[in-house]
Structure 1
Amino acid sequence: MTNQATLAAPTAPTPGVLIASLLGCSILWASGFLFVKVSGEVHPFALAAMRGLVGATSLALWFAVMRKSVLPQGREWMSWLFLGAFNGWIPNVLLAYGLTQMGTASAAMIQASAPLIVAVLSHLLFAEERLSPRRMIGVVLGFVGMAILIGPAAFPDSGISPWGVLAMVGCSISYSCANLYVRFVRQADPSRLALGQQICSGIPATILALVVVGPSSFAAVPANLAPLIALGVIATAMPILFFMRLIRNAGPTRASMVGYLMPVWTAVLAVVFLGERIGPREMIGGAVVLTGVALVSLSGRRKAASS
């Protein structure tokens, strides 16, 4: 999620540190699905607003401790606005709505398809990102897994909400657009991108909630304050900082492994804390999606890993 040219000489982590970092970051991010689900009474716009505002406040406090400025520098605000939308309030609103329509584990598995979308669009946009035969197989596999997961939604008696599926697909597309945009960002400090993203996610989401729905959209916030704060701090600010450090020390290719672990932890949390059941279709579809994502992300990436 950042430009490698801006990263100072990294110190490669030991395998133990790398595994611990991947596990910790993926668990924190996966917990966001749990906190969103238990805050289901909160309107999606208000939930996105609270997530962004709490996340921004947490990161701003960290910047204050580090004695860094929180104000945008130069044209930095343009990146903040774009990432705040496509990596912030838009997917946050879609995720909040999607989780009111479908199970947590299935939603996470659909969101895990974002690297497949990035791979296809990168193939069309960047000459150096052409899909090799093996990566093309991964893309096809991934979309087969998506068909297994969301295909039954086309049938009215399936019990699967097509609107929930569309919301999660839209969430994946939004994240993909943000990832592609970062390719064009030059001289970007990853921690400042994280801060700006949260600021420009929370404020627009708040305005939208007040204009589109009205103050009543925040009526359920006091009763759900604890999970909302946890969503902003534990599942947003903390994993972003850890992820930026992981990119700096391990490189983007290894750091991307977080995306493979998230659906697994999300499924575990959903079963343990929400009492959800995962059927054979979800297990098979999720496994196929993750296999495709792994083939796409770990094949033919020597140049990215060494750059």
Structure 2
Amino acid sequence: MSSSESAAATPLPPVTQGFLISSLLGCSILWASGFLFIKLSGDTSPFVIAAVRGLLGASSLAIFFKLQGKALLPRPEELKDWLFLGTFNGWAPNVLVSYALTQITTASAAMVQAAGPLIVAVIAHLLFADERLTRRRFLGVLVGFVGMGILIGPAAFPESGISPMGSLAMVAVTLSYATANLYVRTIKRADPSRLALGQQVCSGIPATILALIISGPGAFAVVPSHLGPLLALGIIATAVPMLMFMRMIRSAGPTRASMVGYLLPVWTALLAVLFLDEHLGARECLGGAVILSGVALVTFSGRRKPAVEA
């Protein structure tokens, strides 16, 4: 599909500043709490966390649909989208985040993920005619990647004490989320709430199968002792913000919706300091500030005109 065809296939209505700001704030705060709940899940296997998160998210959205009298089963044309999003926006990044948080701090993980809007902006520039990078936004991309180098570059040296695998896992998470966000933009017609439901269904089921194969049924024995954080992770930090985020992507476009990454490390660092007794070093603060400066240049340099249907 060409750039012009993709843009024409997904008309985007005008978006008010109030809707965008309130959605960004709410979505980023709820998603940031997910890092906290994962940490509070103790020694639960990353695959089990991803499985429980997906299943609880799917169950919550299924109840939401049932109360509204909406159909739960996918239509044939939806299945491909559900499977794609369930993988790239679901079980794969969920497993990687859970693993990364066993290796690095929550604040560092969120700061790496904050580079997501930069990746989205670069790829969207190549795919969509109405998402072109201006010189200022291109400068922002360069600044942001310098910040990533500051944040995760020292992990290449063994004496740094920084886990290279944890850092690389978060880079993979960022790439996975960026891929999913851009894919949503290419869907011709979609109900954001159905995309959110399908994503969670196609995240929870594969994650559960993988957990049973890789970790074994016994790995689920720890779930009752961590039920509180896991419930909060699946409902508060997954189902609710996913509904909000899908709506943002469909109405505001992937570049502006990915501004969630601009706010995520702020809330994550605050929650980590308040509840996990984590401390931010000079390198984390500097790298995070540079990344966020780059993201700010990318996302606040001019307003995108809504696409019109050809």
TM-score by length of 1: 0.90
Task: Give identity over the alignment, percent.
Answer: 67
Give per-residue Cα distances to partners, 1:130-153, cap 9 Å, x unaligned.
432211111110000000100111
- Structure 2: how far apart are the matches of 1:232 and 1:297? 29
- What residue number does 1:224 align with? 226
Offset at residue 154 of structure 1 (A): 1.0
User: Does structure 2 retain, via aligned residues, the 8 Å contact 1:253–1:305?
Assistant: no
- Structure 2: how far apart are the matches of 1:109 and 1:144? 13
What are the ranges of 5 or more consecutive residues in structure 1 without an aligned counterpart?
Answer: none
Q: 1:127 to 1:21 in 2, by over 3 A?
A: closer
Deviates more, 1:288-297 or 1:263-272: 288-297
- Structure 2: how far apart are the matches of 1:200 and 1:145? 34
- What residue number does 2:300 align with? 298
Q: 1:175 to 1:252 in 2, by over 3 A?
A: closer
1:88 aligns with 2:103: no
- Count how many residue pairs are aligned between Structure 1 and Structure 2: 302
- What residue number does 2:281 align with? 279
- Structure 2: how far apart are the matches of 1:182 and 1:245? 10
The structure 2 residue matched to 1:212, chosen from 206, 214, 226, is 214
- Give the letter aligned to residue 28 of structure 1: L
- What residue number does 2:151 align with? 149
- Give the letter aligned to residue 178 of structure 1: A
Q: 1:78 to 1:161 in 2, by over 3 A?
A: same
- What residue number does 1:40 align with? 42
User: Does structure 1 retain, via aligned residues, the 8 Å contact 2:120–2:254?
Assistant: no
Alignment RMSD: 2.4
Q: In structure 1, the residue corresponding to 2:158 is in which secondary structure? A: coil
1:69 aligns with 2:55: no
- Structure 1: how far apart are the matches of 2:146 and 2:60? 40
Deviates more, 1:244-253 or 1:195-204: 244-253
- Give the letter aligned to residue 294 of structure 1: A
Deviates more, 1:22-31 or 1:246-255: 246-255
- What residue number does 2:111 align with? 109
Deviates more, 1:195-204 or 1:216-225: 216-225
Offset at residue 225 of structure 1 (A): 1.1
- Give the letter aligned to residue 84 of structure 1: G
TM-score by length of 2: 0.89
- Give the letter aligned to residue 131 of structure 1: L
Deviates more, 1:243-252 or 1:36-45: 243-252
Q: 1:183 to 1:19 in 2, by over 3 A?
A: closer
- Structure 2: how far apart are the matches of 1:305 and 1:275? 46
Offset at residue 6 of structure 1 (A): 6.9
What are the ranges of 5 or more consecutive residues in structure 2 without an aligned counterpart?
Answer: 1-7
User: Does structure 1 retain, via aligned residues, the 8 Å contact 2:57–2:235?
Assistant: yes
- Structure 2: how far apart are the matches of 1:242 and 1:171? 20
